[in-house]
Amino acid sequence: MQVPEKITGEQLLEMSSKLIGHVELVKGEIIQIAPAGYVHGRLAHKLALFLGKYVQENGLGEMCAAKTGFYTARHPDSVRAADAAFIAKERIPQEPFDGYLEIVPDLTVEVISPNDRPREILEKVNECLQAGVKCIWVVYPKSREVYVYKANQPVEMLSDEDILTGDDVIPGFQCQVAEIFE
In a domain, 140, yes or no: yes
Per-residue pLDDT tens over the stretch 65-118: 888 999 999 999 999 999 999 999 999 988 877 889 999 999 999 999 888 888
Q: What is the CATH number of the domain that holds 91?
A: 3.90.1570.10
In a domain, 27, yes or no: no
Spell out the residues 6+ positions from residue 6 whose beta carbon is closer than 8 angstroms to its own: 27, 28, 29, 76
Distance CA 84, CA 63 (A): 7
Amino acid identity for residue 64 in this structure: C
In a domain, 11, yes or no: no
Residue 4 has pLDDT above 80, yes or no: no
SS3 3: coil
The model's pTM is 0.91
Q: Which domain holds residue 61?
A: 35-181
Other beta carbons within 10 Å of 46: 18
Q: Are residues 133 and 103 in contact, defined by beta-carbon separation less than 8 angstroms?
A: no
Residue 155 has pLDDT above 80, yes or no: yes
Quote the number of domains for the chain. 1
In a domain, 135, yes or no: yes
In a domain, 17, yes or no: no
pLDDT of 16: 67
In a domain, 67, yes or no: yes
In a domain, 8, yes or no: no
Per-residue pLDDT tens over the stretch 7-30: 888 888 887 666 656 788 899 888
Helix (H) or strand (E) holding 42: helix 38-57
In a domain, 173, yes or no: yes
pLDDT of 17: 62
